[in-house]
Amino acid sequence: MVTGCAPFFLLGLAGVALGSWFFGTHGAARFTGLGALVLFVLYFALLNWTAQSRLESRAKENAVPDEDEKEGFREEDRAEWVNYLRTEGRLLWMGVVFLLGVILLLAVKG
C-alpha cells in the first residue's frame, strides 16, 4: 500500500494545505484536512475490503487451478497474502475510526 498510495497521499496533503489556505481559520482548516484524510483512508480501506472479499469468493468457488497457480502463486503465497490483506485492513479501519474520533472530539470541544 505504501508505494502504490504515494501519489494519493500527496493529493491528501495538498487537500490539507488547500483547506487551510481557503478557509484561513484553524477550525475550518482542521476539519477540512481531517475530512480529506478520512476520505482518503476510507477509500483504501474499502479497496482492501474488496480485495479480501474477492479472495474469499475465489477460494470458495475455485476447485480447478487457475492462472495464478500456473505462474507459481502457491497456496502458501496465497495464505500469506490473505494474512497481509487482513492486517492491512485492520490498520486502515483503525485509522478511519481514530480520525472520525478526532473529528468528533474537535466538534464537541469547538
The pLDDT tens digits along the chain (110 residues) read: 545 666 676 676 667 667 666 766 677 777 877 787 788 888 888 888 998 888 888 777 765 555 555 566 677 878 888 888 888 889 889 988 988 998 898 888 87
Residue 37: CB atoms within 10 Å: 20
Contact 31, 106 (CB under 8 A): yes
pLDDT (0 to 100) of residue 81: 84
Q: How confident is the model at residue 69, as a pLDDT?
A: 54
Question: What are the domain boundaries of the chain?
Answer: 6-60+71-109
Q: Rounded CA gap, 52 and 50, in Å?
A: 5
What pLDDT is recorded for position 67?
A: 58
The span from the CA of 18 to the CA of 29, in Å, is 8
Q: Tell me the C-alpha distance between 20 and 28, whole Å.
A: 7
Q: What pLDDT score was predicted for residue 22?
A: 72
Q: What is the pTM of this model?
A: 0.68
